[in-house]
Amino acid sequence: MPGHFEPTPGGGAAVSLDEVEISIIRSLAVQLLELVGPGPGGDAPADPLAELFADGPTEPPADPVLHRLFPDAYGSPADPVGTPEEAAERTARSSEFRRFTENDLRARKREDALAVVRALDGLALDGEGVAVLRLAPDDCRCWLGALNDLRLAIGTRLDITDEDDTDLLYRLPDEDPRKPMVMAYLWLGGLQETLVTTLLP
């Protein structure tokens, strides 16, 4: 199981991680938490019921990574499809959809990233500096969500828009300053792929 997830009895998954790998994933998950933010009411809202029914934002985030994590539901106003009137209609529908869904999406992404941090914090390294991460089925779903969000975030920073961009990343010289981020992107992709495989019937 080193470097990739394997299925465990009961529908879970397990992977061996060394101290450096644990540190990388944890650091990225914490950065994701900081990027997504605590939500409109902060960490401890005074009235949880009011928070539940609070309207979300209607404008897309300015940060490209956040925009990738919370995209327009009906396409970007800049999409060269249809008339200006149709573009305005798409914008209005996306704004309304965002108002009712983004708070919940942010909460879910925070829960997934927190689940990753907590799972890693609970690991104990053996004498060789390796720990086995064992995930229950519900934990697997959180990890899948967080790994996907991390890859979307890193991919956006790397300007990855299609498979051809990914192919180019494999050929980057070692001295390219993007190389560490590229290696993290590809490694997380491998983890995500093997975790998906373990959950297939």
pLDDT digits (tens, 9 = 90+) for 104-160: 888 999 999 999 999 999 999 999 999 999 999 999 999 999 999 999 999 999 888
Q: Is 82 left (phi over 0), alpha (psi -120 to 50) or beta?
A: left
Residue 132 vs residues 57, 92, 125: alpha-carbon distances, Å: 40, 48, 8
User: Going edge to edge, which strands form the sheet with 12-18?
Assistant: 6-8, 12-18, 130-135
Q: Are 23 and 107 in contact (CB under 8 A)?
A: no
**Chain position carrying tokens 């005074």:** 46
- What is the residue extent of each domain of the chain? 6-52+107-199
Give the per-residue pLDDT at 111. Answer: 96
Residue 21 identity: E
What letter does residue 53 receive in the DSSP assignment? T
* Helix/strand/coil for 72: coil
Which sign, positive or negative, has the C-alpha torsion 49, 53, 58, 63?
positive
Positions of the chain with pLDDT lower than 70, given as ranges:
1-2, 39-58, 75-82, 91
Give the per-residue pLDDT at 174. Answer: 86
Give the per-residue pLDDT at 80. Answer: 60
Q: Which residues contact 170 (CB under 8 A, 6 or more apart)?
A: 186
Give the per-residue pLDDT at 40. Answer: 47
Give the per-residue pLDDT at 88. Answer: 74
Give the per-residue pLDDT at 44. Answer: 45
Give the per-residue pLDDT at 1. Answer: 43
Q: What is the pTM of this model?
A: 0.82
Give the per-residue pLDDT at 2. Answer: 56
Q: Residue 15 forms beta bridges with which residues?
A: 133
Which sign, positive or negative, has the C-alpha torsion 122, 116, 12, 103?
positive
Give the per-residue pLDDT at 41. Answer: 45
Q: Are 33 and 107 in contact (CB under 8 A)?
A: no
**Largest CA-CA distance found in the chain, in angstroms, rounded:** 65
